[in-house]
Structure 1
Amino acid sequence: MVGCLGLLGTAAQANDFPNRPINLYVSAAPGGTTDIAARMIAEPLARALGTSVIVDNRPGGSGGVAAQQVSRAPADGYTLLFQYSGFQVISPLLLKNQNWDPVSSFSPVANVLSAPQLLVVRSTLPYKTLEELVNSDAAKKGELNYASSGVGSLQHVATELFNQMAETQLFHIPYNGTGPALNDLMGGAVDLTMTTPPPLLPHIQNGNLTPLVVTGPKRLDSLPDVPTASEAGYPELEISSWFAMYAPAGTPADVVNKIAAEVEKITQTAEFQEKAQSLGAYPSFQGPAELGEYTKAELSRWGKVIEAAQIEMP
Structure 2
Amino acid sequence: MKLNKLVCALVSGFAFAATAHADNFPSKPITLIVPFAPGGTTDIVARIVGDKLGKELGQAVVVENRGGGGGSIGAAAISKAAPDGYTIGVSTVSTHAVNAACNPKLGYDPIAGFSPITNMARTPNVLTVNNKFPAQDFKQFLDQVKKNPGKLNYATSGTCSIQHMVGEQFKAATGTFILHIPYRGAGPALNDLLGGQVDMMFDNLPSSMSHIQSGKLRPLAIAWNKRIDALPNVPTFAELGLKQVNDPAWYGLVAPPKTPEDIIRKLNAAAVKVLNMPEVKERLKQQGAEPVGNSPAEHAAEIKAELEKMKAVVTKQGIKFDGI
2:32 matched to which residue of 1?
Answer: 25
User: Contact 1:26/1:35 (CA < 8 Å) preserved in 2?
Assistant: no
Percent same amino acid at aligned positions? 34
Q: Could you report, residue by residue, the CA deviation over 1:240-293 in whole angstroms, capped at 9, with x for unpaired residues?
A: 332211122233434323321231121111111122123332212232111111
User: Which residue among 106, 122, 128 is the counterpart of 1:114?
Assistant: 122
Change (3 A) 1:95 1:38: same
Deviations 1:119-167 (A, max 9, x none): 1234455544434444554455555432334322322221101112233
Q: Tell me the number of residue pairs that the alignment of Structure 1 and Structure 2 aligns.
A: 313
Matched, 1:239 2:247: yes
Instruction: For 1:309 and 1:228, locate their aligned partners in 2 and report how far apart those are by CA, in whole Å.
Output: 26
What does 1:19-168 align with in structure 2 at a 5 Å threshold?
A: 19=24, 20-21=27-28, 23-28=30-35, 32-49=40-57, 51-57=58-64, 59-62=66-69, 63-95=71-103, 97-134=105-142, 137-138=145-146, 141=149, 143-168=151-176
- What secondary structure is seen at the aligned counterpart in 2 of 1:261? helix
Deviation at 1:97, TM superposition (A): 4.3
Q: Is the 8 A contact 2:44 2:207 kept in 1?
A: no
Which aligned pairs between 1:137-286 and structure 2 lie closer than 5 A?
Answer: 137-138=145-146, 141=149, 143-178=151-186, 181-182=189-190, 185=193, 190-198=198-206, 200-201=208-209, 203-205=211-213, 207=215, 209-286=217-294
Question: In 2, distance between residues paired with 1:74 and 1:313?
Answer: 30
1:313 aligns with 2:289: no
In the superposition, the TM-score normalised over structure 1's length comes to 0.81
- Higher mean displacement: 218-227 or 170-179: 170-179
More displaced, 292-301 or 252-261? 252-261
* Alpha-carbon distance, 1:230 to partner: 2.3
Determine the C-alpha separation between the residues in 2 that align with 1:42 and 1:238. Answer: 28
Which secondary structure does the structure 1 equivalent of 2:304 belong to?
A: helix
Of the structure 1 ranges 6-15 and 208-217, higher mean CA displacement relative to structure 2 is found in 6-15
The 1-side partners of 2:50 and 2:210 are apart by 29
Q: Alignment partner of 2:205: what SS?
A: coil
Task: Quickly say closer, same or farther: Cα 1:68–1:311, change in 2 above 3 A.
Answer: closer
For residues 8 and 61 of structure 1, what CA distance do their matches in structure 2 show?
A: 46
SS at match of 1:220: coil
Kept in 2, the 8 Å contact 1:149–1:175? The answer is: yes
CA contact (8 A) 1:25 1:66 kept: no
Kindly indicate whether the alpha-carbon contact (under 8 Å) linking 2:127 and 2:201 is maintained by their aligned counterparts in 1: yes
Range moving further from structure 2, 222-231 or 57-66: 57-66
1:283/1:160 CA distance change after superposition, 3 Å:
same
Contact 2:171-2:178 within 8 A present in 1 as well: yes
TM-score, normalization: structure 2? 0.79
Q: Give the whole-Å Cα distance in 2 for the aligned partners of 1:185 and 1:293.
A: 35
Whether the 8 Å contact between 2:122 and 2:291 is mirrored in structure 1 is: yes
In structure 2, C-alpha distance between the alignment counterparts of 1:206 and 1:68, rounded to whole Å: 36
Aligned-residue offset at 1:18: 3.6
- Give distance in 2, aligned partners of 1:238 and 1:39: 26
In 2, Cα distance between equivalents of 1:105 and 1:147: 29
Aligned CA distance change for structure 1 residues 35 and 208 (closer, same or farther; 3 Å): closer
Q: Measure the CA separation in 1 of the matches of 2:270 and 2:321.
A: 39
Counterparts of 2:142 and 2:126, CA distance in 1: 16
Q: Is the 8 A contact 1:85 1:244 kept in 2?
A: no
Segment of structure 1 superposing worse, 122-131 or 222-231: 122-131
| Pair 200,263 (structure 1): closer, same or farther in 2 beyond 3 Å | closer
- Distance 1:233-1:31 versus aligned 2 partners, 3 A rule: closer
Q: Distance in 1 between matches of 2:19 and 2:166?
A: 43
1:94 and 1:313 in contact (8 A); partners too: no
- Cα distance change on mapping 1:70 and 1:131 into 2, 3 Å: same
RMSD after superposition: 3.4
Matched, 1:15 2:19: yes
Following superposition, the deviation at residue 99 of structure 1 comes to: 3.8
- 3-state secondary structure, aligned to 1:156: helix
Contact map agreement 2:153 2:200 (CA 8 A) in 1: yes
| 1:206-263 C-alpha deviation (Å, 9 max, x unpaired) | 6554321111233333212112222222233233332211122233434323321231
SS in 2 for 1:285: coil
